[in-house]
Structure 1
Amino acid sequence: MLVVGELINSSRKAIAQAIANRDKDYIQELARKQAEAGADIIDVNCGTSIGEEEKVMTWLVNIVQEVVDVPLCIDSPSAEALAAGLAAHKGQALVNSITAEKQRWEEVLPLVQKYKAKVIALCMDDGGMPDSVEDRLRVAGKLVPGLVEAGIPEDDIYLDPLIKPLGVNSQYGVEALESVAALRQKYPGVHTICGLSNVSYGLPERRLLNRAFMVMCLTKGMDSFILDPLDMPLMGLLRAATALYGQDEYCLEYISAARAGKIKA
């Protein structure tokens, strides 16, 4: 199970302000807290830093890696910012993200190859967002073979089915779950991942939906999540569900987290 901590993202007002003020202490403390809470990878996104994203990405990667030993997820719609972050990163990073869109593919694939990075592959092509399970499988049929042919190991590929907000269409949750199951069946050697909070966008008490959806995704084979690791009930459910699903031998991770006070009933 892979947990990507989502909190260092400039779409959040506090982070945007911290970046603008170059508040190193605030960002480093948030990185530390996420790692201590169980994040295996920490996402860094500065997409709102218009005109200086490359410079800010380099700064973020450097200051976060000063205080945590976990790898980073270099997250940007800009290939130039991805390149800057990857150049500054020590060890193997996770790139967020590549798609089957021609321009994005041609910009990002060489970076993944050059830096031998892991990569999140969104099930999206030049036709736009996927409309069905079949649509996701069709796009994955371009992404996975293309990445493997380019020398990317299957174990370094994380397929994202693209979760849509449940508040827009009551069937989007079912569609997402069926997509995860279908992707896992067709590509058992590839990981699946999602931005967990996307499902609850626009709805009240979002954390309840996020927690329930995470457990449901686990039962369909999803093995990686981009989430808020400081949500203790969420992390507790993740540890418990992972153990119940037979993915935690002798419940060692669950027991360790409980003894460390990281999860509570």
Structure 2
Amino acid sequence: MRLITSAALLALFGFAAVASSQPAEIPVEEVFEPDEGPDAPPQFLLKTKFLESENTYPPIIYNTQSTNLEITLQNEEDSEAIVQVAGGALFEIGNDTAIENITAVRVGPLAVAPHTTQTVGYNFVLDREPKDYFLRVGLLIEYEGQLVQYLGYNSTITVQDPPLSYFDPQMIFLYIILSGIFGVGGYFVYNNYVKSYLTPKKTSGKKRAKSATPVTPSNTTAETTGTDTKGYDESWIPEHHLRSKSPKPKMTKKTKKNTK
């Protein structure tokens, strides 16, 4: 068996068929009905399953999300078949030119024994305008030294934007960013505009009265004039005047007791 490089296999993989101008009514799973005779191509049966849209036709593909396929190959020949590459192409409905070649991926060599079945996993991501498109997905199979391309899906798909999910990591990150912005903005508005209206203003000119101890007039006079309690300063008055003014002690008369 000859060896074929990955680059050569990917270069050989392509879709030359023309896209149908009308959407198919049902998915095309049995993509090849071989002619009888010695020149008939190998009898392989391919079926494709869209794992996220199994029971929907046309299958729904969400933008920016991985679309996972299972391509099943049934080998009806008496010789071994080897699956090498999986890939596809996207078309506008009614247009024979591919608008996007879906990434071809080397999935082999995967040997499929005679009269047995093997399943190949394949996934891709689209980011297109939401509407219907025509999709071709297939396998590049090596059989008896020759490479043959077989289609596993050849029909319509519907591309849609993904539904919003509140628990999506991107949405959660967006919530955190928005919460931070609104939090900072709210604090700024409150601190600069709202707080001044809510805080009661202090009345100016009214001071709390200080407690004062009562002061007698005599104490006050003595402190301010530097005099004693008499009301005047005696230091400059001559001493003999002070003596004359000093009160004389009162004399009490003694009475004689009568003795008998």
TM-score band by shorter chain is under 0.3
Between structure 1 and structure 2, the one with the greater Rg is 2
More strand by percentage: 2
* TM-score of the superposed pair, with normalisation by structure 2: 0.20
More helix by percentage: 1
